[in-house]
C-alpha cells in the first residue's frame, strides 16, 4: 500500500519569502500526485496535480510542484508567498491500478505567513 510523508508539520514564513513543502511517497509503480489546500474555514480544494508528462506542474495562485521519480518526491513550491497563503496543505497520491478510491493523504503541513 502506498503512504505519503509530509515532514514539515508547521512552517512559518514572512511575506515574500520562498516556500518549499516536502512530500514523499512510498509506492514503486505509476502514481498520480495531488496537492490540496485548506484555507481557514474553507473546504479542501485542488492546487495542482500530476499524472503524466512534464514533471514540473503549475497550479493555481502561483504554486508549482516537481515530480522527481528517483526521489519519490513531489515538493510544492512558490517563489514569493503572501499572507493569504496561510492554510493547511495536503499532499495525496493514488495509483492507476487501484483507482480513485485509494487516494492516500499525508498528514498535512500548516503554513503560517507573517505580514
Partner 1 sequence: DGGITQSPKYLFRKEGQNVTLSCEQNLNHDAMYWYRQDPGQGLRLIYYSQIVNDFQKGDIAEGYSVSREKKESFPLTVTSAQKNPTAFYLCASSIDLGSNSNQPQHFGDGTRLSIL
One residue of 49, 64, 66, 86 binding partner 1 per CB under 8 A: 49
> Contact between 11 and partner 1 (CB under 8 A)?
no
Instruction: Map residue 55 onto helix, strand or coil.
Output: coil
Q: Round to whole Å and give the CA distance between 79 and 98.
A: 34
- Site stretch for partner 1 (CB under 8 A), options 17-25, 67-75, 78-86, 105-113: 105-113
Q: Round to whole Å and give the CA distance between 80 and 102.
A: 33
- 25 - beta bridge partners? 4
Binding residues for partner 1 (CB under 8 A): 4, 6, 9, 32, 34, 36, 42-46, 49, 51, 90, 94-96, 98-101, 103, 105-108
Amino acid at each position: 500500500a502506498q503512504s505519503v510523508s509530509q515532514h514539515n508539520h508547521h512552517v512559518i514564513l514572512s511575506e515574500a519569502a520562498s516556500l518549499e513543502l516536502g512530500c514523499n511517497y512510498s509506492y514503486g509503480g505509476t502514481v498520480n500526485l495531488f496537492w490540496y489546500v485548506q484555507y481557514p474555514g474553507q473546504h479542501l480544494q485542488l492546487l495542482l496535480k500530476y499524472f503524466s508528462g512534464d514533471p514540473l506542474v503549475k497550479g493555481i495562485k502561483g504554486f508549482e510542484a516537481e515530480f522527481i521519480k528517483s526521489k519519490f518526491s513531489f515538493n510544492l513550491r512558490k517563489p514569493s508567498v503572501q499572507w493569504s497563503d496561510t492554510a493547511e496543505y495536503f499532499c495525496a497520491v493514488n495509483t492507476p491500478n487501484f483507482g480513485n478510491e485509494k487516494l492516500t493523504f499525508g498528514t498535512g503541513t500548516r503554513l503560517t505567513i507573517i505580514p
